[in-house]
Every structure is written in structure tokens, then in C-alpha cells.
Structure 1
Amino acid sequence: MATILIAGCGDLGCLLGETLAQEGHTIYGLRRHTDDLPESIHPIQSDLSHSLPKLPETVDYVFYMASAGKYKDAAYYQAYVLGVKNTLNALGNKNVKRFFFISSTSVFGQSEGELVNEESPTSGKNFSTRRLLEGEHLVRDCGFASTIVRFGGIYGPGRTHLIDLVTQGKAHCMEDVWSNRIHSIDCVGILKHLMELDMTAPQKVDGLYIGVDNQPTLSCEVYDWLAEQLSVPDVEHSEPTENSRMMRSNKRLSNAKIRASGYNFIYPTYQDGYIELLEA
């Protein structure tokens, strides 16, 4: 069994921690406020943007899962750059087997519906993607074996923003714009899968994976399908302008690499995941 540190242990981190604790692993969750942490996660109360307290003597795996509280450069710097530096400093010379950094597919700047995989170029065209890429760079050079997982749009219990917009009649979509998403359960499943693969065959774990489901889908198709399931009026469609095309993410992300590693999706399409949410 392993000792695991989840730095930035929010909702997704708690779900991961509880899942791994059920397997017998020892889990430490680091966050500003620890009152709401599940009992199976040992609390470490700290702010990632400051020097961290002493960490457990043994840390086998680290999952860095911080998020920026605001869409501001300072918040992204604290979450994805300064927080990484402080975590690495606190780890010191510990024998960490692998450092997982949770990033975002927003670092891919493609806007013409291109098919994108792990080899595709990234773009630091705004402060948020620049800070994410800075954090990725720090992790790659940290001296530990490391893996970066870039997740697409995460949905699931507690992440029903799109359902709420459609239900309230506030949703609108642009024609011919691709979207990519992943259920939170599969986010946890991918991270658990990669850690367990590293425990048995570390040479098979690569440095970068895209985390999305099997089905890139036109945004309007998703909105219209949800409206039909919810029995509400159709969602307003609009034609994207040339400027909005350039500003908006529009790409088809491939999950072939994570599937080739042996991971089988619990919710391989958006219909599989959203049907369960709607029924709940």
C-alpha cells in the first residue's frame, strides 16, 4: 500500500482520496480548510501559496490538483506556479515515486476543429494557459518521475452547470463548434489507473495524457440532446463570427493514448454520463 498526498484536495481530490483509501492506501489531503474532508483522508491544513508545513515522512505519490479560485492572473500564478514550487520544496529529498499534475486541455489552442492528441502543439495565448504550462514545466523538471493529465470539461455530481443552463432556458450554442468532456468518475478512474500501473510497471506510464471521453461532440448537439431529455424548449443556435472562432476553443480531442494504456471508460460518451445525472 502507498502513502499519497493530494495537494489542493477539492471535490475531485476528495473523490480520488476516498476511492484510494478504500483500496487500503493512506491518504493525506492538503487544503486551506480541512473541516469538510472525508474521515478517510488525513488533513493537512495549509495554503499552497505559502510555505507548507512538514509533510509525512513517507510520500509515495503526489497528486497536485489545485484550482484557481478566480479567473485572474494572480490566482492562476498562485495555484499553478507558486503552489507547485512550494509543494516541491516541502517534498525535499523524499522518495516520491511519481508526481501527478492535473492540468487542462485548454492549453491546446486549436480553433478550427482539428483532431488533437498529446503530440499536438500548445498555445500560451492567455494568462491562464501560460500559467498552466509554467506549472507543467516545473513538474517535468522536478527530479521525480512525473505525469501530466490534461482533462477536458469535467461534469458529474455537483458539476451540473450545463444542465442548469438548459433547464433555465439560458443556454445558447455556436454552430460547428466541437466540445470535449469527461465524467468526474472517469477523472478519478484515470488517475487511479495510472498510479496502479506505475506501482506494477512504471516503464509503461508516460509523461502526458489527455483525459476526455470517447466522443468529441458538436456543442449544439449536446445542448439539443439535453433539451430533449429535459422536455424544455430548444436551445438558441448562433453562427460563430470569425473573431469568435479564433477566440473560442474548437478542437476534437483524442483519448486513444489513455485507452491504449488499459483504461476502460465508465462513461464513454456524454449520453452515458448525463442520463445518470438526469435520472438522479
Structure 2
Amino acid sequence: MARVLIAGCGDLGCQLGIQLKQQGHEVFGIRRNIDALPDEITGIECNLFSPICELPNALDYVFYIVSAAKYKDNDYYQAYVLGVRNMLKALQNQKIKRFFFTSSTSVFAQSDGEWVNETSATEGHGFSTNRLLEGEELCNNSSIPTTIIRFGGIYGPGRTHLIDLVREGKAHCMENVWSNRIHSADCTGIFTHLMTLDMQDSNKLDNLYIGVDNKPTPSCEVYEWLAEELSVPEVEHKEPSENSRQLRSNKRLSNERIRQSGYEFKYPTYQDGYGELILEI
């Protein structure tokens, strides 16, 4: 059994905490309002962006799963730089076996549809990616062993924005632009898988993984499939502009490293994940 701290117990953090508790681990969770935490997680009421409050002793693993409240530089600075710095400082006197940091595949700036893996170059192309890379650097420079997971577009229960847009006839897709996704259940599955690997043999872990499913797909193909499954009119197609955010995401992300580590996806393709969501809503 391990003693685990989850810093940032939103949707993913709570899902992870429940899974870890079911596996027999002791789980603590940091949140501003701990009343919203499930019973499986022992709450620590704390603001990560202020000097860190007192943490439990003898922690083994820490998961940092914090999201920016708004798409603004200060919010990204707080979530991915200030909060990380405060947390690492608060943990410096503990013998943490591994610190897991949640990042994003947006730090990859490739935009010509090329294949991208963990060795591909990153580039700060705006305040959001700059802050994410700053947070990663803080983790990598820490004395605590760190693993970074860069997730693609996360969807799942409570994350049905794309389904809602298509169903309401408000969606449009960019021609010839690749997209990469992952179901929230596989995000938490990757977390628990990597922690289990580390408990078995810390030498098995790399310090960086890409978290996406098995099937990078042109965005228009995803939208068209959703429209057909929802029995709604076809989605409008548009040509991407050089400045569009969709174009900057035009790459095919490889999940070979996480699959080679032994992880098996619950939802290996967007059809698997979205198909189940459509049946449930």
C-alpha cells in the first residue's frame, strides 16, 4: 500500500483517487473546497497558489493534476508554475518516490500532420505553452523523481462539448487537420498503471509519456462520424487558416511508449469512447 497525494482534485483527480483507494492505497486530496471530495479521499483544504499548508507525512507518490481556471496568462502561471513550485518546495523534506505532472501535447508545435513522439521538439508558441513548459522544467530540475504525462484532447463523462456542438448544429471542422484524443478513463488508467510500474521497479519508468489513444484522426472524419451517430445534418467543413488554433494542432501523436510499457487502452479509438458516451446521454 502506498500513501498518495493528489494535488488538484477535480474530475480526473477524484476518478484517480477512487481507483487508487479501491486498489488499497491511502489517498489524500488537495482542494479548496473539500466538501466536494468523494469519501475515498481524505481532504486537505488548501490553496495551491499560496504557501502550501501542512501536508501528510511519509507520502510515497504525488499527482499534480491542476488546470488553469481561465485562458489567461496569470491563470496559467498560477496553475503550472506557481502551484508546482509551491508543491515541490513543500515536499522537499519527504522521500517522494515519484512526482507525476499533468501537462499537455499542445507544447508540440508541429503543424504539418507529421508523426510526433516523446523525442520530438517542443516550442512555446504562446503564454499557455510557455507556462506548461516552465512547469515541466521545474519538475525536471527537482530532486524528486518526476514523470510528465502530456495528454491530448480529453473527453468523457462531463466532457461532451464536441457532441453537444455537433448535435446542436454549431460545429464546423477544419479540412486536412489531424486531431488526437483520449478518454478521461484512460487518463486515470495511465496514472494508476505508471504508479504500479514504479512500485514494481522504478527503473521501468521514463520521465515523459504522451497520453493519446491509438488512432489520430482527421478532425472532419470525427465530426462526420458523430453527426451520423447522432442522426443530425453533416458538419460544415472549412479550410484552415495559418493563424487558426486548429492548424497549430495538426499533428499525429504516437502513444507507442505508453503501450510498450504494458498499458492497454479501455477506449483505443474515438469510436469506442464517443460511442459509449452517445448511448449514455
| Identical-residue share of aligned pairs (%) | 66
Q: Is the 8 A contact 2:177 2:246 kept in 1?
A: no
8 Å CA contact 2:174–2:246 kept in 1: the answer is no
- Cα deviation for residue 52 of structure 1 reads 1.2
1:159 and 2:149 are equivalent in the alignment: no
The one-letter code matched in structure 2 to 1:78 is Q
Deviation at 1:154, TM superposition (A): 0.4
**SS in structure 2 of the partner of residue 35 of structure 1:** helix
Report how far residue 19 of structure 1 moved.
0.4
Contact 2:4 2:25 in 1 (8 A): yes
2: CA distance, partners of 1:245 / 1:89: 35
105 and 245 in structure 1: CA distance in 2 versus 1, 3 angstrom threshold: closer
Distance 1:258 1:247 in 2: 26
Q: Does 1:249 align with 2:255?
A: no
Match of 1:23 in 2: 23
Question: CA 1:78–1:242 in structure 2 vs 1: closer, same or farther (change >3 Å)?
Answer: closer
| 1: CA distance, partners of 2:147 / 2:88 | 15
Q: What is the CA–CA distance in structure 2 between the aligned matches of 1:50 and 1:219, rounded to whole Å?
A: 40
Question: For 1:250, what is the secondary structure of its paired residue?
Answer: coil
Q: What is the CA–CA distance in structure 1 between the aligned matches of 2:212 and 2:102, rounded to whole Å? A: 13
The aligned residue for residue 74 of structure 1 is: 74
Q: Which moved more, 1:240-249 or 1:216-225?
A: 240-249
Report how far residue 241 of structure 1 moved: 2.8
Which residue identity does 1:270 align to in structure 2?
Y
Q: Work out the CA distance in 1 between the residues paired with 2:16 and 2:206.
A: 20
**Aligned pairs for 1:186-205 within 5 A:** 186-205=186-205
Q: Distance in 2 between matches of 1:165 and 1:29?
A: 33
| C-alpha distance in structure 1 between counterparts of 2:247 and 2:214, whole Å | 25
In the alignment, the residues of structure 2 paired with residue 237 and residue 6 of structure 1 have an alpha-carbon distance, to the nearest angstrom, of 41
Q: Report if aligned partners of 1:105, 1:152 keep a CA contact under 8 Å in 2.
A: yes
Please give the alpha-carbon distance, in whole angstroms, between the structure 2 residues aligned to 1:171 and 1:113.
22
**Residue of structure 2 in register with 1:11 after alignment:** 11
Instruction: Give the conservation status (yes or no) of the 8 Å contact 2:60–2:98.
Output: yes
- Report the secondary structure of 2:44's partner residue: strand
Pairing 1:150–2:150 present: yes
Question: How far 1:242 sits from its partner (Å)?
Answer: 3.6
Runs of 4+ in 1 over 2 A off after TM superposition: 241-248
List per-residue Cα deviations over 1:226-279 (Å, max 9, x = no partner).
000000000000112344389531000000000000001110000001111011
2:133 match: 133
- 2:270 — aligned with what? 270
Deviation at 1:141, TM superposition (A): 1.1
Q: How does 1:24-43 map onto structure 2 within 5 Å?
A: 24-43=24-43
Partner in structure 2 of residue 110 of structure 1: 110
- Per-residue CA deviation, residues 17-73 of structure 1 (Å, 9 max, x unaligned), is 000000110101101111110001000011110011110011100000011000010
Aligned residues: 280
**Offset of residue 90 of structure 1:** 1.2
Q: Does residue 168 of structure 1 match 2:168?
A: yes
The AA in structure 1 aligned to 2:118 is E
For 1:205 and 1:189, locate their aligned partners in 2 and report how far apart those are by CA, in whole Å.
Answer: 15
Give the unaligned 5+ runs of structure 2: none
The alpha-carbon deviation at position 102 of structure 1 amounts to: 0.4
Aligned-residue Cα RMSD (Å) equals 1.0
Structure 1: gaps (5+ residues): none
TM-score, reference length from structure 2: 0.98
Say whether residues 1:120 and 2:120 are aligned partners.
yes
1:62 paired with 2:55, answer no
Sort the Cα spacing of 1:193 and 1:226 in 2 relative to 1 into closer, same or farther, 3 A: same
